[in-house]
């Protein structure tokens, strides 16, 4: 997306002609999305045990301070086959389609491509959160139709590019939601449901956290240290307890309106900052940039 900075206003060029999206606009719509997230976890569904809080100076030590899992219980995923939780089922279907090592080409079956399409439509067309995000961007002139919005999301999130060895080995979705390993370290990995799934399987060992946001109910935000089957993540931040559609909507909102910049949101009246990065080496469509990364800034 081409952007002309007019801070605190940013001109966002889209298929619908483009308009100014202010910082106040972004805080307002994020607060609405927060209120609409009816599929988020409740205190009775999700148990969170952060355990040891360490200073930033110790995040590189790779010391396991947590004898227990951080997420010992999450009842929603155990009910993932339920027709009442289609966005969770759609996310789980896509998460297991990736090879985590960069430099290894990602090749998808027709079914896996359909799972990507289904995830975008399930989260953005079939939820109040997704429909509200589209309505906001449509009103701002970023998109001229829902179909244009959905197809652009599919390309910016799932379009493949190369992080290593010239192979089509990565995408915004893989990097942020599934997580990758590059240069002997965990790269990306900012989705809490993937964290829970891997921890439950014994493939991820939570060590500690270096940031705990001001929220006292879900969603909350943590900056975590962990080992993913032999590879360390020094600070992996995630919005915890939100629905898949809310996570996808927040990152999409920030990337579309603040690509390569800090995006300031309001969740329950408290500020959350999301840092986004564009992928600048290759493009799609009419010179649009894929998502490089997006994650909660901590602190």
Mean pLDDT by 10 residues, the chain (299 residues): 45 52 97 96 92 97 96 75 79 96 96 98 98 98 97 98 95 98 97 96 97 95 98 98 97 98 97 97 96 94
Distance CA 292, CA 44 (A): 35
225 with 210: CB under 8 angstroms? yes
User: 76: closest CA among 91, 68, 88?
Assistant: 88
CB 251 within 8 A of CB 294: yes
Catalytic residue among 190, 209, 261, 289: 190
- Tens of pLDDT, residues 245-279: 999 999 999 999 999 999 999 999 999 999 999 99
Catalytic residue among 27, 40, 140, 175: 175
Please give the Cα distance from 174 to 176 (Å, whole number): 6
Instruction: Please give the C-alpha separations between residue 118 and each of 78, 80, 147, 195, 268, in angstroms, as whole numbers.
Output: 21, 15, 13, 22, 30
Question: 293: part of which helix (H) or strand (E)?
Answer: strand 288-296
Relative to beta strand 185-187, strand 204-212 is unpaired
Active site residue 209: no
Could you give phi then psi for residue 264, rounded to 5 degrees? -105, 120
- What local confidence, expressed as pLDDT, does residue 18 receive? 44
**Which one from 140, 182, 209, 233 is the annotated catalytic residue?**
233
Structure token digits, residue 253: 């909102």
Residue 133 near residue 250 (C-beta atoms within 8 A): no
Q: What is the pTM of this model?
A: 0.93
Residues 14 and 137 sit within 8 Å (Cβ to Cβ): yes
65 is catalytic: no
pLDDT value for 20: 85
List pLDDT tens digits, range 134-187: 999 999 999 999 999 999 999 999 999 999 999 999 999 999 999 999 999 999
In terms of phi and psi (left: phi > 0; alpha: psi -120 to 50; beta: otherwise), the region of 165 is left
- What is the predicted pLDDT for the residue at 213? 95
**List of long-range contacts for 10-13, beta carbons under 8 Å, 24+ apart:** 10/257, 10/258, 10/261, 12/140, 12/142, 12/256, 12/257
Asked about 190 being catalytic, the answer comes back as yes
Closest CA to 190 of 202, 172, 213: 172
């Amino acid at each position: 997306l081409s952007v002309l900075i007019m801070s605190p206003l940013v001109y966002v060029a889209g298929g619908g002609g483009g308009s100014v999206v202010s910082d106040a606009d972004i805080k307002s719509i994020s607060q609405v999305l927060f209120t609409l997230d009816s599929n988020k976890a409740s205190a009775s569904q999700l148990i969170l045990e952060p355990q040891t809080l360490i200073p930033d100076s110790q995040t590189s030590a790779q010391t396991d301070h947590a004898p227990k899992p951080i997420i010992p219980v999450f009842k929603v995923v155990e009910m993932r086959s339920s027709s009442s939780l289609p966005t969770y089922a759609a996310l789980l279907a896509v998460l297991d389609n990736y090879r985590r090592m960069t430099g290894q080409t990602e090749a998808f079956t027709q079914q896996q491509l359909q799972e990507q399409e289904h995830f975008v439509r399930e989260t953005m067309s079939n939820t109040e959160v997704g429909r509200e995000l589209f309505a906001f961007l449509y009103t701002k002139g970023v998109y001229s139709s829902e179909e244009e919005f959905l197809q652009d999301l599919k390309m910016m999130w799932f379009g493949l590019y190369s992080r290593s060895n010239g192979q089509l080995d990565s995408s915004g979705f893989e990097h942020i939601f599934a997580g990758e390993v590059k240069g002997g370290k965990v790269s990306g990995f900012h989705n809490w449901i993937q964290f829970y799934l891997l921890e439950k399987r014994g493939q991820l060992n939570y060590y500690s956290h270096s940031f705990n946001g001001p929220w006292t109910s879900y969603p909350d935000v943590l900056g975590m240290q962990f080992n993913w089957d032999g590879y360390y993540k020094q600070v992996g931040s995630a919005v915890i307890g939100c629905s898949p559609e809310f996570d996808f909507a927040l990152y999409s909102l920030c990337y579309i309106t603040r690509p390569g910049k800090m995006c300031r949101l309001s969740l329950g009246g408290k500020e959350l900052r999301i840092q986004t990065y564009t992928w600048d080496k290759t493009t799609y469509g009419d010179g649009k940039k894929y998502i490089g990364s997006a994650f909660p800034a901590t602190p």
